[in-house]
Amino acid sequence: MSELKDFIEAIASIAAQGNVDENINLARQTVKELNRFLYNTHDGIGTTYELAKNRAYISDFHKYWHKHHKEILNLQIDESSCTLVADVLHSVFIRTSGKAFGYVYDRCGLSDEEVCHVRFLTANQDFRGSRSFAELAAIYKRTPDIFNLKSISNNPQQFLNAINVSSLSQTDKRITFAKSIANFVLSKNTTPYQLIDLYNRDLVALKNALINERGTGFKEKKANMFIRDMYVHGVWDNVTGIEQINVPSDINTMQVAMRTGIVKSSIPLLSSFMDMFSYQYDEVDKIVAEAWKRVWEIWCANYPKEECLESPVLLDYFIYNTVGKEFCKNSLYLYECAEDHHFSSLSSNIKLCPICKEESTAKRKALPRNQRGAVPILKTPCIHRNVLPCTHPDGHIAIEQTTFYQKHLANPNFFECPFRALCDQNGKRSLQAPKSISISALLVKLAGKEPMPPKNLVAAG
């Protein structure tokens, strides 16, 4: 039985009865059917394994989407776009002598062993950059005992309080992560720094061990981030497998991948609020990591070794931080006042039109002092909207304020995103990356301690 087919037939049956715009009863039936398909469960709907247990499907749509999301999305890596992106990244490498890809954070005076210890025990708590390494290093210097493995295992809440994440979201999950990762190291009778030796200094073997250890919070993204940091900072030397560590996929690397066209889908991505249990997000997450790996492979195949990066994971800082967080954001504000003056700014809070002010001031100065009071200084309100820097001639003023530009890494420096021409060509700037919408908290709130979907689950948001 096709849940989607049944839904379409039900809607068609209602539409055949008359005009829903003119018949309120038909409109009610339509809304009722929409609600049933999207948000109502029922006896015999079936189950799926989500959030560590078998649960009834939330709705017929949920069941249909679970079974068919892959074939509907039809996500693919576009080889020609990967080649174009690889060429752009190579040009950035040459123009910056590789510095654009070489981000290293301040180790704050910690030794290799200490850097590894602090980063390992906190990487699984790093939800969207919630704590910087400098903050964590300062805590470690003040109270190193907080990072004791046995102490964390016995009292994970104390550890979370000490590193200032207990007031953030998903506390129960954080407690599990802290306790589980401490127990993982303790069970092997080693330290985070020496852990690599248990896996013959093979980064891939270590990554797989972390990912396969349930409850630690080390999925693909966080494992790759941790390994990247250990490699870039030289904490672990004489290691193998770095070329197999992929870009840690997130909303920024996904968005750049979609806008540059290296990942394509047969339909626009579903609204994240409809992507129950993040089926779409997980598929995009996987293919984006593979797409960036393919870009790296093409780069290495087409250019001399000394003009290439050693691993796809080393693309991460430039793609994620420079392009994703600095260049590919709606950071330029466009203003238009009632006098039809147009100007741009990086501020979203300009209350007066500077052109009006300048013109009225000039008029006042042209008059004798005793007549200047008759010319008011106009206070014309402005309407603004924000746009991507690459879509406006004044976009350079936003780029010039980025950290990347101000470090003067490139010669000559960049006044626009290096992917601008590519995005001009493919016209995909409006594409948005998916978000992972967790509904577990909603299920808990509605259903009590055992988070089972209620008969009539109302969508959040």
Q: Show Cβ contacts of residue 203 under 8 Å, excluding neighbours closer than 6 positions.
A: 196, 227, 231, 236, 239, 240, 241, 242, 244, 245
* Model pLDDT, residue 165: 85
* Model pLDDT, residue 423: 94
Query: Which one, of 452, 412, 454, lies nearest residue 91 by Cα?
Result: 412
* Model pLDDT, residue 454: 40
Is the domain of 124 the same as that of 223?
Answer: yes
Is the domain of 119 the same as that of 223?
Answer: yes
Domain for residue 247, yes or no?
no
Is the domain of 121 the same as that of 228?
Answer: yes
CATH number of the domain enclosing 181? 1.10.340
Domain for residue 431, yes or no?
no
Higher pLDDT residue, 122 or 380? 122
Residue linked to tokens 């046995």: 150
For the segment 404-429, the average pLDDT, to the nearest whole number, is: 94
For the segment 299-308, the average pLDDT, to the nearest whole number, is: 96
The residue range of the domain holding 385 is 332-412
Is the pLDDT at 458 greater than 70? The verdict is no
* Model pLDDT, residue 445: 43
* Model pLDDT, residue 309: 96
**Alpha-carbon span 431 to 429, nearest angstrom:** 6
The pair of three-digit structure tokens given for residue 194, joined into one six-digit string:
């020496």
* Model pLDDT, residue 30: 95
Maximum Cα–Cα distance for the chain, whole Å? 88
* Model pLDDT, residue 439: 56
The residues that bridge with 240 in the sheet, in sequence order, are: 202
Domain for residue 157, yes or no?
yes
Task: Kindly report the number of other CB atoms within 10 A of residue 80's CB atom.
Answer: 9
* Model pLDDT, residue 129: 55
| Sign of CA pseudo-dihedral 221, 224, 229, 230 | positive
Residue 373's pLDDT band, with cuts at 50, 70 and 90, is confident
For the segment 194-212, the average pLDDT, to the nearest whole number, is: 97
Is the domain of 39 the same as that of 121?
Answer: no
Is the domain of 200 the same as that of 136?
Answer: yes
Residue 285's pLDDT band, with cuts at 50, 70 and 90, is very high
The pair of three-digit structure tokens given for residue 354, joined into one six-digit string:
């500077």
**Alpha-carbon span 418 to 430, nearest angstrom:** 17
* Model pLDDT, residue 364: 82
Domain for residue 340, yes or no?
yes
The pair of three-digit structure tokens given for residue 48, joined into one six-digit string:
């799926």
Tell which of 171, 197, 232 closes a domain. Answer: 232
Is the domain of 71 the same as that of 120?
Answer: no
Percent of the chain past pLDDT 90, that is, above it, reads: 71
* Model pLDDT, residue 155: 95
* Model pLDDT, residue 170: 66
For the segment 29-51, the average pLDDT, to the nearest whole number, is: 91
- Compute the mean pLDDT over every residue in the chain, rounded to the nearest whole number: 89
Choice among 132-136, 439-443, 455-459 with the minimum mean pLDDT:
455-459
* Model pLDDT, residue 236: 95
Is the domain of 154 the same as that of 54?
Answer: no
* Model pLDDT, residue 375: 74
Is the domain of 30 the same as that of 120?
Answer: no
Is the pLDDT at 91 greater than 50? The verdict is yes
Q: Do 240 and 202 form a contact (C-beta atoms < 8 A)?
A: yes
Q: Do 143 and 162 form a contact (C-beta atoms < 8 A)?
A: yes
The contacts found for 229-233 with CB under 8 angstroms, 24 or more apart, are 229/119, 229/123, 230/116, 230/119, 230/196, 231/203, 231/311, 231/313, 232/102, 232/103, 232/104, 232/314, 233/104, 233/107, 233/112, 233/115
Domain for residue 196, yes or no?
yes
Is the pLDDT at 162 greater than 80? The verdict is yes
Tell which of 178, 200, 232 closes a domain. Answer: 232
Higher pLDDT residue, 457 or 152? 152
Is the domain of 62 the same as that of 158?
Answer: no
Is the pLDDT at 190 greater than 90? The verdict is yes
Residue 460's pLDDT band, with cuts at 50, 70 and 90, is very low
Residue 461's pLDDT band, with cuts at 50, 70 and 90, is very low
213-272 per-position pLDDT tens digit: 989 999 899 999 999 999 999 999 999 999 999 998 889 999 999 999 999 999 999 988
* Model pLDDT, residue 126: 77
Global pTM exceeds 0.75 = yes
Q: Do 78 and 298 form a contact (C-beta atoms < 8 A)?
A: no
Is the domain of 116 the same as that of 216?
Answer: yes
Domain for residue 262, yes or no?
no
* Model pLDDT, residue 289: 95
* Model pLDDT, residue 449: 40
Higher pLDDT residue, 446 or 269? 269
**Alpha-carbon span 311 to 347, nearest angstrom:** 38
**Alpha-carbon span 427 to 348, nearest angstrom:** 26
* Model pLDDT, residue 52: 67
Is the domain of 67 the same as that of 127?
Answer: no
Is the domain of 176 the same as that of 223?
Answer: yes
* Model pLDDT, residue 363: 83
Domain for residue 25, yes or no?
yes
Tell which of 197, 214, 232 closes a domain. Answer: 232
For the segment 420-447, the average pLDDT, to the nearest whole number, is: 75
SS3 447: helix
Domain for residue 52, yes or no?
yes
Could you give the number of structural domains in the chain? 3
Q: Give the C-alpha distances (Å, rounded to integers) separating 297 from 86, 87, 308, 310.
A: 9, 12, 10, 10
* Model pLDDT, residue 206: 97
Is the pLDDT at 37 greater than 60? The verdict is yes
